[in-house]
Structure 1
Amino acid sequence: MRSGALLAAAPLHLDPAESWDRATLESFQLAKLRTQLARLAQDSAYYAPLFKRLGWNAGELDSLADLSKLPFTTKSDYVNSIGPDAPFGQFMTVPRSDVLRMHFSSGTTSAPTPQFWTQHDLDRWAAMYARHSHAQGIGPDDIVQCMYSYTWFVGGLGATAGYQGVGAMVIPAGSQDTERQINTLFTYGSTVLCGTPSFITHLAEEVRKRGRDPATSTVRTIMMGGEPGASIPATRKRIEELWGARAYDAYGCLEFQPIAGECAAQAGLHLAEDFLYAEVVDADTRQAVPDGTPGVLVVTHLDKQAGPLVRWWTGDIVVRDSTPCTCGRTHARLLGGVRGRADDMLVVRGINVFPSAVEEVVRNSPGLGDEYQLVINASVYDAGGFMKSIHVRVEQSDASADAEQLAAQLVRDIKEKLQVGAAVEVLPFGTLTRSTHKAKRLARED
């Protein structure tokens, strides 16, 4: 590992808002919300009639807590709004001529749905991304190889604008063509990589197959998003050791770009609290939970123009800490990043298990590769239809190792660390599908 590669950089601020005290920040958020909600009551084909049905107006927002009087906005709400006003739907709140960018959802669970940005929105997006890049010490001396997707989705273009905003040179590499990715980073001396944890790990694997050591490259910083991983200690450690570089987590979704990003302290992802208002609520009761308690992140745009959302149900499980960070920034942090999706949580004999928790155990297990898969089939259920165990597929990294012993050890580790039983299949290295975008860790089989 290169000397100093893992030393924290000095705190850098792009905006004074990053170090506002909590009272100043909340006063700012309340003023922005009042303005935003008043505008939606006039201009939104979705929210204006909703507010009228509820008999609610923005003047009733006396405190941030009052926002909880409004219902959540869910993905199904958004999808259902498209039909009556196709193709753009009911959430666009500016003239179509003011919209300069449109991206789409993946279309995994429904037809791809659009999101919109004005010039103001694009500038805000770039500034927030630049803030996170700056906090990780990225600047004019860096060459960034951006391996987020540029097709349809939001990742690549948003990251590019942010990195350019701190003066870095950006290579818009996308998430394909592994051979060219490797040639490019060694030929041009890329110092920063960004992509999904699964693709970053896959790339290191491919570099090693070609007889080279990723840690001898010029890469010093890696920023990852799109899936849990960078905030999972074992995964972060593995990637940092593979590349001899410092790994950071970033978090956003199609509807909110970005939501949070890490600083050099690596002590949780700082929420962009001057861009959004964040709540953390219990997945079942839908009531707010205190800091330090896992819950679903719910976010509201403070100043987005083209398609603002109120109390957007992300479905992502997080743990918030509102105390200031050692880096000097005061925006609340998401400890451990995104812990998982509320709808991906498995309940095994009353114990909540997320794929990210299984990943932590797998990647701490000697003799196993980085890929894994959680299988949901009839074998994991008891006669009453409740989950009694988990089924895990992994790969062995050493062909000479005893697969049965590796499986038995992983069963013991899962029982000890997660308190659930497991069936483990150990497969030859390279068996499981590698991902260049977002890895699919849950496999449901009949």
Structure 2
Amino acid sequence: MIVAEPYSADVWDERELWSRDRIEAHQLSALKTQLARVARDSAHYAQVFKDAGFEAGDLTSFDDLRALPLTRKSDYLKSVEAAPPFGSMLAVAPEDVIRVHFSSGTTSKPSPDCWTGADIERWADLYARLAYSHGVRKGDVYQCLFNFSWFVGGLGAFMAYQRIGAICIPGGSGDSERQIDTMFEYGTTCTTSTPSFMAHLAEVARKMGRDPRQTKVSKIMLGGEPGANIPATRQMIEELWDARCYDGYGSLEFQPIAWDCAAQNGPHLVEDFAFAEVLDPDTHEPVADGTPGVLVLTHLDKQATPLVRWWTGDMVVRDRAPCSCGRTHARLVGGVQGRADDMMVIRGVNVFPSAVEEVVRSTPGTTGEYLIVLDKDTRDAKTGFLTGFKLRIEAAKGAPADLKERMAAAVRTRLQVRAIVEVMAEGELPRSTHKAKRILREE
């Protein structure tokens, strides 16, 4: 086990404090080196560069990168089909791969992503940087509540907390009652989890006659789904556990992407690991800081499966102003706003599930659980365009009799759209121990 030392008492790595000029100089230099290697060693990108008439040595500015096409999930899947099992994007010899994780496979066959030894070390150290910024230190008791089977987040987090020197317990995302007992018996001080599982565990603890606020948990890193940067959800979980919640944002292809610091001003991008663009979802042109757009990422030093201009599909708002914590890497204000393909356009208004969640969890009388349903009742019969959405919520004990009307009015007032609200009894909506599904399409 590697136990590493921080750069200073405040930050894990000196790169967190680099000036903007130094960050951008590093990115441009690293891009030149990485693109040259990708063109040489990745069969997929060698063809992409050739088709685009792009020479890596010609890169003189970040704008030059836009001569290359975006890389999407469909491109990745095609590369795997063309050269199974790891795909033609692989940029190292197969024998140099020491770790493979897979996508969830909810919309297609699970796809692999590979790591070399150097990739694993980089990943663990970046994740340690994340945890350290939350206040995790040697001697903390860490209980990992991410799934370990197939899912990429569990092992990444576990490597990081070990690196800091915390006492690590591989709990996983099952055995809810045992998780609660373990927290009390071993004095767990920090966890990583999806927001939905953390809320579920609080429910389970209370059914067991135990108060989750009486554990020693003080630091919770939430990932896998939106939550820690949705104010009402963050407040709900912080109150349930009497702990501070931090957002950790990553994906199978990029581990990690961004994380909250103790200031909770929005997740800091890892700008020495990935070059970020924020593009208009329709025109694919860059948008100004402060304007919502899709996050597009390019690896700066990933070895096994480097990606160039990867379309994450995640809507974000970037802010490159320095953070009050002293870190200089750009932040994603409000975290991930939602998936570009999950965005609902209702009579000209853009609505994300995260915005609906904020309304539900800040309206008294609900359990906080909800489900958005899109069906024929929510579409114009002639055009097929959305005219609203159905919103299923649960009434908590003591909920007002007019909860349905109050919720519909709250949605109308805050989101400027129509919601057909259906009130259900507590416990009727499905719970999730992994990633909660918030939109049901019955079309």
Interval of TM-score (by shorter of Structure 1 and Structure 2): over 0.9
- Which whole-Å deviations, capped at 9, do the CAs of 1:332-361 have from their partners, x for residues lacking one? 000111110000000000000000000000
| Counterpart in the other structure of 2:88 | 90
SS at 2:43 equivalent: coil
Letter in 2 for 1:297: L
Tell me which residue corresponds to 2:403: 406
2:431 aligned residue: 434
Equivalent in 189, 214, 224 of residue 222 of structure 2: 224
2:264 to 258, 263, 266: 266
Range with bigger deviation, 319-328 or 204-213: 204-213
**Hey, what does 1:394 align to over in structure 2?**
393
Instruction: Select the residue among 410, 415, 418 that pairs with 1:418.
Output: 415
* Partners of 1:98 and 1:299 in 2: CA distance: 24
CA contact (8 A) 2:299 2:308 kept: yes
- What is the correspondence of 1:193-212 to structure 2 with a 5 Å cutoff? 193-212=191-210
Read off the aligned partner of 1:121 and give its amino acid letter. D
Compute the displacement of 1:91 (Å): 1.0
Aligned residue identity for 1:444: R
Residues 186-235 of structure 1, C-alpha deviations (whole Å, 9 max, x = no match): 11110011100000011011111122211111111100000001100000
1:44-443, aligned counterparts within 5 Å? 44-383=42-381, 384-398=383-397, 400-403=398-401, 405-443=402-440
Query: Partners of 1:83 and 1:319 in 2: how far apart?
Result: 34
SS in 1 for 2:387: coil
Q: Distance in 2 between matches of 1:402 and 1:34?
A: 61
CA distance in 1: counterparts of 2:399 and 2:70, whole angstroms: 51
CA contact (8 A) 2:364 2:399 kept: no
| Corresponding residue of 2:5 | none
Q: Quick check: 409-418 or 60-69, which moved more?
A: 60-69
| Alignment-mate amino acid for residue 34 of structure 1 | K
Name the aligned partner's letter for residue 70 of structure 1.
Answer: L
Q: Distance in 2 between matches of 1:86 and 1:211?
A: 51
Distance 1:381 1:101 in 2: 45
Looking at structure 2, the residues matched to 120 and 82 of structure 1 have their Cα atoms a distance apart, in angstroms, of: 23
Task: Please state how far the C-alpha of 1:402 moved relative to its aligned partner.
Answer: 4.5
1:343, 1:186 → 2: CA distance?
Answer: 41
In structure 1, what residue type is equivalent to 2:380? D
In 2, the alpha carbon distance for the partners of 1:361 and 1:445 equals 23
Percentage of pairs with the same residue: 57
Measured against aligned partners, the alpha-carbon deviations of 1:32-54 in whole angstroms (never above 9, x if no partner) come to 00001001111111001111122
Is 1:29 the counterpart of 2:56? The answer is no
SS across alignment from 1:88: coil
Q: Does structure 2 retain, via aligned residues, the 8 Å contact 1:367–1:397?
A: yes
Listed one character per residue, the Cα deviations across residues 20-78 of structure 1 (whole Å, up to 9, x for unaligned) are 11111100000100001001111111001111122110111101121111110000000
Distance 1:38 1:401 in 2: 61
Where in structure 1 are there 5+ consecutive unaligned residues?
1-9
For 2:207 and 2:335, the matched residues in 1 are separated by 31
| 2:437 maps to amino acid | K
Q: Deviations over 1:269-315 (max 9, x none)?
A: 00000000001000000110010000000000000100100000000
- The code of the aligned residue for 1:391 comes to K
- Return closer, same or farther for 1:430/1:237 CA change in 2, 3 Å cut-off: same
Runs of 4+ aligned structure 1 residues displaced above 2 Å come to 400-403
1:139·1:168 contact (CA, 8 Å) conserved in 2? yes
Q: Secondary structure at the match of 2:113?
A: strand
Q: d(CA) in 2 for partners of 1:50 and 1:237?
A: 46
Quote the Cα distance in structure 1 between the aligned partners of 2:256 and 2:55. 28
Indicate the SS of the match to 1:316: strand
**1:11 Cα deviation (Å)?**
7.2
In 1, Cα distance between equivalents of 2:52 and 2:345: 36
In structure 1, the residue corresponding to 2:278 is in which secondary structure?
strand
Residue matched to 2:10 = 12
| Aligned residue identity for 2:323 | C
CA distance in 2 between partners of 1:401 and 1:326 (Å): 40
Instruction: Please tell me whether the aligned partners of residues 11 and 328 of structure 1 are also in contact (alpha carbons under 8 angstroms).
Output: no
Separation of aligned partners in 2, 1:235 and 1:258: 22
Task: Provide the aligned length of Structure 1 versus Structure 2.
Answer: 435
What are the Cα deviations for residues 382-411 of structure 1, in whole angstroms up to 9, with x where unaligned?
12211111110000111x5355x0010000
Normalized against structure 1, the TM-score is what? Answer: 0.96
Contact persistence 1:192–1:221 (CA under 8 A): yes
Residue pair 1:221, 1:247 contacting (<8 A) in 2 also: yes
Q: Is the CA contact (8 Å cut-off) linking 2:276 and 2:295 kept in structure 1?
A: yes
Give the conservation status (yes or no) of the 8 Å contact 1:390–1:423: yes
* Secondary structure class of the residue paired with 1:297: strand
* Distance across 1 between alignment mates of 2:39 and 2:357: 45
Are 1:318 and 1:334, in contact at CA under 8 Å, matched by a contact in 2? yes
Amino acid at match of 2:262: A
Q: Cα distance, 1:414 vs. partner?
A: 0.4
TM-score normalised by structure 2 residue count: 0.97
Point out where structure 2 has 5 or more consecutive residues left out of the alignment. 1-7
Q: Which residue of 1 aligns with 2:41?
A: 43
2: CA distance, partners of 1:279 / 1:265: 24
> Quick check: 2:319–2:332 contact (8 Å CA) kept in 1?
yes
